[in-house]
């Protein structure tokens, strides 16, 4: 049996291959975090970048994490602590008190008057680079209707320190998105099956 193997090297990621490699920094190895459990997406601006309050256009999403998912919450808190230590240079070479920083893990019961955020924490992630969006088999999703606010997905994110205009804290960069399953749409999107009933051909003749 004869097999053909083709190897190519590219600066840009490609789909369809078996293995892809790239060099990652020590910082990325420490701070890059992949949500193992599916999270619900909200405010999912993942197909086109948008400007918020006149700022630069970015791709963004709010990741809703149930408070019952203590393992994921603990992992996020650890990743944030690591980002604070790695970003000490942003804070004058010293590790500041967390209470003095703006942190990405936020309480939905306190900060959101929204049923979808009840009993949950959330993390807002954004990026100037478009995320790769794939299905459960890691194949690219091309239909934009497949990924929306309300869908459940696994998401890769990166925590990093910032100090700008007097604001200090840890921000969250958006990586890639893997859709896991559909969910009830958020933000007023409805399902056609809920909007309409089945019509017989004769109904159009009345």
Q: Tell me the pLDDT of the chain (206 aa) as tens digits.
A: 554 544 444 444 444 443 434 444 444 444 455 656 899 999 999 999 999 888 899 999 999 999 999 999 999 999 999 999 999 999 989 898 899 999 999 999 999 999 999 999 999 999 999 999 999 999 999 999 999 999 999 999 999 999 988 899 999 999 999 999 999 999 744 444 444 444 444 443 44
Q: Does domain 26-185 have CATH number 2.40.50.140?
A: yes
Calculate the CA 93 to chain-centre distance: 30
The two structure tokens encoding residue 35? 């949500």
Task: For 5, list phi and psi in degrees, rounded to 5.
Answer: -120, 125
Q: What is the pLDDT of residue 35?
A: 57
Q: What is the pLDDT of residue 184?
A: 95
Q: What is the pLDDT of residue 168?
A: 93
CA distances from 85 to 68, 77, 82, 95 (A): 27, 13, 5, 6
Overall pTM > 0.85? no
Cβ-in-10-Å burial (0-12, 13-18, 19+) of 162 comes to middle
In whole angstroms, give the CA distance from residue 72 to residue 66.
Answer: 9
Q: Which residues pair with 20 in a beta bridge?
A: none
């Amino acid at each position: 049996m004869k097999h053909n193997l083709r190897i190519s090297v590219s600066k840009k990621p490609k789909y369809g291959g078996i293995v892809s490699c790239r060099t990652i920094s020590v910082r990325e190895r420490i701070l890059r975090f992949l949500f193992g459990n599916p999270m619900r997406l909200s405010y999912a601006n993942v197909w086109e970048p948008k400007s918020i309050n006149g700022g630069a256009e970015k791709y963004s999403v709010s990741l809703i994490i149930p408070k019952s998912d203590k393992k994921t919450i603990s992992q996020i808190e650890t990743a944030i602590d690591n980002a604070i230590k790695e970003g000490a240079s942003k804070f004058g070479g010293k590790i500041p008190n967390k209470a003095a920083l703006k942190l990405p893990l936020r309480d939905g019961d306190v900060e959101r008057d929204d049923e979808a955020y009840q009993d949950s924490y959330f993390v807002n992630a954004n990026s100037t680079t478009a995320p790769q969006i794939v299905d459960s088999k890691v194949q690219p999703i091309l239909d934009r209707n497949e990924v929306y606010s309300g869908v459940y997905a696994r998401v890769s994110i990166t925590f990093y320190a910032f100090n700008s205009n007097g604001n200090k804290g840890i921000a969250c960069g958006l990586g890639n998105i893997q859709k896991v399953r559909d969910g009830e749409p958020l933000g007023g999107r409805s399902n056609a099956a809920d909007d309409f009933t089945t019509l017989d051909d004769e109904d159009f003749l009345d």
